[in-house]
Chain A
Amino acid sequence: MADHVHKYKTPMLDELEKGPWPSFVKEIKRAAAKRPMAEGLLGQLERSYKDKQTYWKHGGLVGIQGYGAGIIGRYSALGTEFPEVAAFHTVRINQPAGWFYTSKALRTLCDIWDKHGSGLLNVHGSTGDFVLLGTTSEKLEDCFTDYSNAGWDLGGSSSDMRTPSCCNGMARCEFACFDTMALCHDLTMTYQDELHRPAFPYKFKIKIAGCPNDCVASIARSDLSIMGTWKDEIRIDQAECQAYIKAGMDIVAEITGMCPTACMTWDGKTMKINNHECNRCMHCINFMPKALRHGKETGATILVGGKAPILEGAQLASVVVPFMPMKAPFSEIKEFIQKLWDVWGENGNNRERIGEFMLRVGVGNFMESIGEAPNPNMVMHPRENPYIFYEEYFEEE
């Protein structure tokens, strides 16, 4: 690599090869030593750094036969100057649940990408996909064929169900209240058509977290957040509580004193928890995992409508079903998803996320349309304004 002479001079980007954090510029140069497309990217990116603006044009319609999603067209505004990146499309490969790989699988993914693309990638994209950056329209079919024959498939894009993603759940976490990876894989396989052929008003993201720590940010980043929880009692190992004390923990200051519902006490000998008042926040379990474990009657809280600002402002997903059992074959959550899609698919406006749709029609009306009874867990507090649209009233006889 050291011997390779790059086609474009990049004095500004070269500054980003310095410093202790791994450098993406070094990575682009590694790819550029073998493939002209990455070389072109260096040239165009240096221009962006000089001019302080992007030179990528709006995406175009490109895709794979039989698919309506998974490829994002990308063209350069400086195609004559940097012909290597005149077309530089993205391919989204559906990641395995929990982002687990073997070295062999990663090498296969890389070998195919070196054959058909720039040799550059994001591991992973924001939605969860294994994201390949930079190929041309002509190469797409052959590229996809190689991936498909190796056992991989495309992820979502556009107005479809986006690639579901999940935390590592029961594979390597004692906090997991259900099998997130089994559910993620099941939903992905069940809804291949919805994933690959956009037919919704807008995008629909599903993220699955095994507990209320929400390591996949499902409440902020997904239209449907499935978050593990439990109904029964936190399991306490009193001897392990003592062990934490011996290791230097101040249980009153750090644990019981920080409990948001003040439902637990520590008298120096015994940990007591009033589970009826516990709101499943996870603080005590997070910091005393050897002593405290979530209950055994587990399932998930279902929240709907999270999204980033465009259009109507950012929203966190909000509670629709406080508790739903979450065991294979996952029939109840699938029925629920189908109801969401039926109501929103039928009545949602173009480019209207389900969270915006809920607010437009009224969350009470929305709950009614999907058959969910009103529940005080759905709101921070009851309404404060008196503008009630009464549906029941008396007529004079």
Chain B
Amino acid sequence: MAAAKRETDIGPPHYEQFLHPVIKKNYGTWKYHETLKPGVMVHVAESGDKIFTVRAASPRLVSTDFIRDLASLADKHCEGHLRFTSRNNCEFMTGEQKNIDPLIADLAKLGIPVGGLNNSISNIVHTQGWVHCHTPATDASGVVKVLMDDLIDYFTHEKLPAKLRVALACCLNMCGAVHCSDIAVLGIHRRPPKVNNARVTDLCEIPTTVSSCPTAAIRPAMVDGKQTVTVDESRCMYCGNCYTSCPAMPLANPINDGVSIWVGGKVSNARSMPMFSKLAIPYLPNNPPRWPEVTDAVRKLVEVYAKHAIKHERFGEWANRIGWPRFFELTGLEFTKYHIDDYKLAQKTLRSTAQIKF
């Protein structure tokens, strides 16, 4: 069969055709916005026109029928218009305030909660995990599901001192870029890759594999007359970069893989500058299907923050104000050798002062 006719490089459709008429008319002339109730806001334009937004949850990994459900609700209540946020929420937009409550009622019938604005926990951004990736140290969708099951009141209500952004990445590659989140759950491998010497020659380019290692732990080697590589295990930090270059060096290790918890990062510039998340818990086991150790740890962190931070203070701003020694005291978390950085520029993270609280 001859190839069907089609063009290349047409690019995405122009966004303008997807904009709600009220948005199109008032584009670039929005004056202010207000929150009407959790998950619902109104934007008011210079013209006096209003666009109402209802923010709804999504599990991110969805079926086409889920998207059709959303499309039907958009047709029924929102003149056929909707969008998605950078945290995988679905936002319904309508010019009519009277459409809001019937829409929320219909969402509830589908089991979809509304919230995620302002001082709440919005949807957890996450990666593929065991669902569709070759390097994960944990699942992504499953851990997110059990966390949000537990934290849903913080999604549907705005009862935190400030917004709290949670993210999950299933390995250090961080497709989910969790390194600047208020609370980050990060899958970790804890053992070096196992080299399958018989397959390295066929599957891998040796120089690329050697140079893929950030700590120069990988060396070329000859085993049974075949070219392969060896790993200096004392130098390996389990990043998995070699496995991405060389499939004959698998890293998965069911009894040692797990998750670590990081806190206090942010990307916005409000008040303090953007910050990286810092290590809170170096290791928790993978305990599917509901990861109880992880949900307990995250809930505890959320509750301690909610109790002690002042209004508008993000997690990292709070921890910096009280000092990290106090953070460990309040959370009861163990401070271990692993909390002290020993990679490049580690000295910058040491405390060189006699200003100590007792």
Residues of A near any B CB (own CB < 8 A): 12-13, 15-16, 18-25, 27-28, 30-31, 38, 41, 45, 48-49, 51-59, 65-67, 74, 88, 90, 94-107, 109-111, 113-114, 119-124, 126, 128, 133-134, 141-142, 144-145, 148-149, 151-153, 165, 167-168, 170-174, 176, 179, 181, 185, 188-189, 192-193, 196, 212-221, 253-254, 258, 260, 280-283, 286-287, 289-290, 293, 308-314, 316, 350-351
The residue from B5, B18, B134, B176 contacting A105, defined by CB atoms under 8 A apart: B18
Least distance between A383 CB and chain B CB atoms (Å):
13
A105 touches B63 (CB 8 A): no
The smallest beta-carbon distance between A385 and chain B, in angstroms, is: 12
- In the complex, which of the residues B63, B132, B136, B208 contacts A90, with contact meaning CB atoms closer than 8 Å? B132
Query: Are the C-beta atoms of B12 and A214 separated by less than 8 Å?
Result: no
How far is the CB of A127 from the nearest CB of chain B, in Å? 8
Closest residue of B by beta carbon distance from A290 = B32
Min C-beta distance of B154 to chain A, whole Å: 12
Q: With the chains together, A170 CA to B31 CA distance in Å?
A: 11
| A96-B18, A193-B9, A258-B312 known; A23+B145 contact, CB < 8 A | yes
A148, A176, A280: residue with the most chain B Cβ atoms closer than 10 Å: A148
A-B contact pairs, 29 of them (CB 8 A): A20-B113, A22-B59, A24-B59, A49-B288, A52-B255, A74-B134, A96-B15, A96-B18, A104-B80, A106-B68, A120-B61, A120-B62, A122-B88, A134-B132, A148-B10, A167-B86, A170-B27, A171-B19, A179-B28, A196-B9, A213-B270, A219-B274, A254-B312, A289-B32, A309-B172, A309-B174, A311-B212, A313-B344, A314-B276
B244 in contact (CB, < 8 A)? yes
Give the residue among A153, A188, A286, A309 with the most B Cβ atoms within 10 A: A309
Q: Could you say which residues of chain B place their CB within 8 Å of the CB of A126?
A: 125, 127, 175-177
Contact check, A56 vs B132: say whether CB atoms are below 8 A apart: yes
- Sorted nearest first, the 7 A-B pairs with minimum C-beta distance are A19-B149, A308-B174, A103-B71, A212-B269, A110-B64, A48-B130, A58-B247
How many residues belonging to B are interface residues under a CB distance threshold of 8 Å? 117
Min CB–CB distance A346 → chain B (angstroms): 19
How many Å from the CB of A146 to the closest CB on chain B?
A: 9
Chain B 1-36 interface 0/1 with A at a Cβ cutoff of 8 Å (1 = within): 001111111111111011100010001101111100
- Which residues of B, 303-354, contact A by the 8 Å Cβ criterion? 311-312, 343-345
Select which of A31, A58, A310 is within 8 A of B241 by beta carbon: A310
Q: Is the CB of A311 within 8 A of B58?
A: no
B68 touches A281 (CB 8 A): no
- Residue numbers in A under 8 Å from B111 (CB-CB): 20, 22
